Structure 1
Amino acid sequence: MVERVEAAVQDIEAFLAVAQTGSFTRAAESLGTSKSNVGKAVQRLEKRLGTRLFQRTTRAVRMTEDGETYLRAAHVALAGLRDAEQELAARKSEPIGRVRLDVPAGFGRLLLPGLAELQRRHPKLTLEMALSDRMSDPVAEGWDIVVRIGHLPADGEMTVRKLCDLRLGLYASPDYVKRKGPIDSLAELNTHDAVIFRGPSGRLRPWTVSDAGNVRDMVMEPVLVLADGQALVDAAANGFGIVQINDRVARPYVEAGRLVHILPAADVDGPPVHAMIPLGLRMPAKTRAVLNHLADSLRE
């Protein structure tokens, strides 16, 4: 079976060489074989297809209409095979070089411990990481991987891979809850201190909550407004008030006793997290290693 496939590919390569050079002799020279072998390869291909691909005369070789149709298909097929070969080679090669990541501030600090382990496994890998909540231009700024929560650009310059889903919940420090008292209902939130996030658009982000199964927005009067996702978490951990953040970012703070989960029944589905990679013929091994690590760690 493998031998038949290899022979078929060789016949297609012979056909392409004749089409490109316009000569069986020059095609043989480019392939490093004999004119007779090229002629037999084209004949086998024509027999298999049941049509003539070339009109041959003593002076010239011209492609038929069927030959032109097959030429277009052959180019696409061989390009796909070359891409597949490059991808398989990339998977086997060692991740070497620099990978530039742009990650939301709070989320990036969540990923740092795992990325340190990745770098220890691949010491020839260098990571450059920007932690920012602004909407960067992935292509213009030369990022290898951009992690985005929620909104994705509507252009076709990036390959998108979903990393995980999030849940949004309300959190505050144990000290704040002790000082202000326990919270038993959504109505009580209006008497509490709210730390609110200002998104890249400049708009204050309302809290989205589940109220007896109905999802609604709560516009809170803030005691503190922050445009940095990590600062939002730090403010809550330091007792400023209540914040709404995603479960992935909150989890290590809850486990460390720095935050407590308030009104879990009010949690709602949050936005998905995606990784975006610039389009190209193949993904370098270094980028693939980082991307797969992100996907695996967030899946856990």
Structure 2
Amino acid sequence: MKKNAPSIQDILAFIAVAQYASFTRAAEFFGTGKAGMGKAVQRLEEHLGTRLFQRTTRAVTLTEDGETYLEAARAAMEQLNNAESILAARKDKPNGRVRLDIPVGFGCFIIPELPRFQKQFPEVLLELSLSDKASDAVGEGWDIVLRVGELPADGEMIVRKMCDLSLGFFASPIWLKSLPPILNISDMLDQHAIVFRAASGVLRPWIITDGGVLKEIIPSRKTVIRDGRSIVDAVRAGMGIAQIFTLVGDVYTENSELVRIFPDQNIPGPPVYALIPVGTKMPLKTRVVLNFLAELLQK
């Protein structure tokens, strides 16, 4: 039968007896009876299968095994005390590692802002993954997972809505110069499209306005790509027109790598959610990262 692990109280009793070389003085230190100290050491000796003290009417001295165990016990207690101090400090100041999983396409506007976050919170260390797959925040150990679109209810997750995205049509300026002017939706639909295929295998349709009514279409002439960053790279390379989130596309219009077609037309897009594992209280380190992401997404 597997032995039960010794209790912290029994180990502390052993350390006290060793320090004072006396069961009586150790008991006085703890404010308990001498018999209780003796039973604590006895339980520890039974668990370890060895004697820790030589006891006489005049003295209590450590055995060789006792000296070995005392060194290890003191080191372990010191590590626990250090850990408690670190955890106590984190309650007042963000400190520690935060594991973050975000959509691939969001990297272009989130990563350039991270130096600002590091300057503000130097003790928070980020472990960052860019992925469009449906990550299991609990099973994979993520602290925050950002995902786009409606999400099923999950009892093991806290779901926080971060923002609603808008959609726009983008193309490279060099590619557009090779085409006749695009004056309306019909002109655009005649051109080569770049379309996203979700992890589920479903093609994400373009959403267009037709007489003030929103409609979904799948362009007939298209290149299909499975991750958001590669879609942006394909548009920048001049492969065609793509409908992408304006939050992402506008990053590249600012440096003239992309042109937004119909810039006055804002088409409502899907929501962005943050998934956080359920806990008694969100750590401060996680909260400051979550608030920082909300600030970026709501620009």
Q: What are the ranges of 5 or more consecutive residues in structure 1 without an aligned counterpart?
A: 1-88
Measure the CA separation in 1 of the matches of 2:162 and 2:90.
20
What secondary structure, in the 3-state scheme, does the structure 1 residue paired with 2:126 have?
strand
1:289 is aligned to 2:288? yes
Deviations 1:172-215 (CA, angstroms, capped at 9, x unpaired):
01111101132111112232010111111111211011112010
What secondary structure, in the 3-state scheme, does the structure 1 residue paired with 2:93 have?
coil
Contact between 2:191 and 2:221, CA under 8 Å: does it hold in 1? no
Measure the CA separation in 2 of the matches of 1:298 and 1:121.
18
Name the structure 2 match of 1:44.
none
Name the structure 2 match of 1:198.
197
Question: CA, structure 1 residues 137+174, in 2 after alignment: closer, same or farther (shift >3 Å)?
Answer: same
1:178 is aligned to 2:177? yes
Query: Please, which moves more after superposition, 238-247 or 117-126?
Result: 117-126
**Amino acid across the alignment from 1:246:** F
How far apart are residue 223 of structure 1 and its match? 3.7
Name the structure 1 match of 2:213.
214
Query: Please, which moves more after superposition, 151-160 or 208-217?
Result: 151-160
Measure the CA separation in 2 of the matches of 1:265 and 1:271.
19
What secondary structure, in the 3-state scheme, does the structure 2 residue paired with 1:257 have?
coil
Name the structure 1 match of 2:84.
none
Measure the CA separation in 1 of the matches of 2:177 and 2:137.
44
1:110 is aligned to 2:109? yes
Name the structure 1 match of 2:154.
155
Question: CA, structure 1 residues 109+190, in 2 after alignment: closer, same or farther (shift >3 Å)?
Answer: closer
Contact between 2:108 and 2:251, CA under 8 Å: does it hold in 1? no
Name the structure 2 match of 1:255.
254
Contact between 2:91 and 2:283, CA under 8 Å: does it hold in 1? no
What secondary structure, in the 3-state scheme, does the structure 2 residue paired with 1:180 have?
coil
Measure the CA separation in 2 of the matches of 1:282 and 1:222.
50
Measure the CA separation in 2 of the matches of 1:276 and 1:294.
12
Q: What is the RMSD of the two structures over their aligned residues, measured on CA atoms? A: 1.9
Q: Percent identity?
A: 49
Measure the CA separation in 2 of the matches of 1:134 and 1:102.
10
Q: What are the ranges of 5 or more consecutive residues in structure 2 without an aligned counterpart?
A: 1-87
Contact between 2:149 and 2:270, CA under 8 Å: does it hold in 1? yes
Name the structure 1 match of 2:16.
none
How far apart are residue 91 of structure 1 and its match? 8.5
**TM-score, structure 2 normalization:** 0.67
Question: CA, structure 1 residues 184+230, in 2 after alignment: closer, same or farther (shift >3 Å)?
Answer: same
Question: CA, structure 1 residues 134+222, in 2 after alignment: closer, same or farther (shift >3 Å)?
Answer: farther
**Amino acid across the alignment from 2:269:** G
How far apart are residue 90 of structure 1 and its match? 8.6
1:132 is aligned to 2:131? yes
Going by fraction, where is helix more abundant, 1 or 2? Answer: 1
Q: Which one has a bigger Cα radius of gyration?
A: 2
Name the structure 2 match of 1:225.
224
How far apart are residue 298 of structure 1 and its match? 2.3
Measure the CA separation in 1 of the matches of 2:248 and 2:98.
23
Measure the CA separation in 2 of the matches of 1:247 and 1:278.
29
How far apart are residue 127 of structure 1 and its match? 0.5
Superposition pairs for residues 6-85 of structure 1, below 5 Å? none
Measure the CA separation in 2 of the matches of 1:120 and 1:266.
37
Contact between 1:183 and 1:263, CA under 8 Å: does it hold in 2? no
Question: CA, structure 1 residues 90+213, in 2 after alignment: closer, same or farther (shift >3 Å)?
Answer: farther
Name the structure 1 match of 2:186.
187
Question: CA, structure 1 residues 153+116, in 2 after alignment: closer, same or farther (shift >3 Å)?
Answer: farther
How far apart are residue 251 of structure 1 and its match? 1.0
Measure the CA separation in 1 of the matches of 2:251 and 2:213.
29
Name the structure 2 match of 1:167.
166
**TM-score, structure 1 normalization:** 0.67
**Amino acid across the alignment from 1:198:** R
Measure the CA separation in 2 of the matches of 1:204 and 1:134.
15
Name the structure 2 match of 1:76.
none
Contact between 1:90 and 1:285, CA under 8 Å: does it hold in 2? no
Name the structure 2 match of 1:299.
298
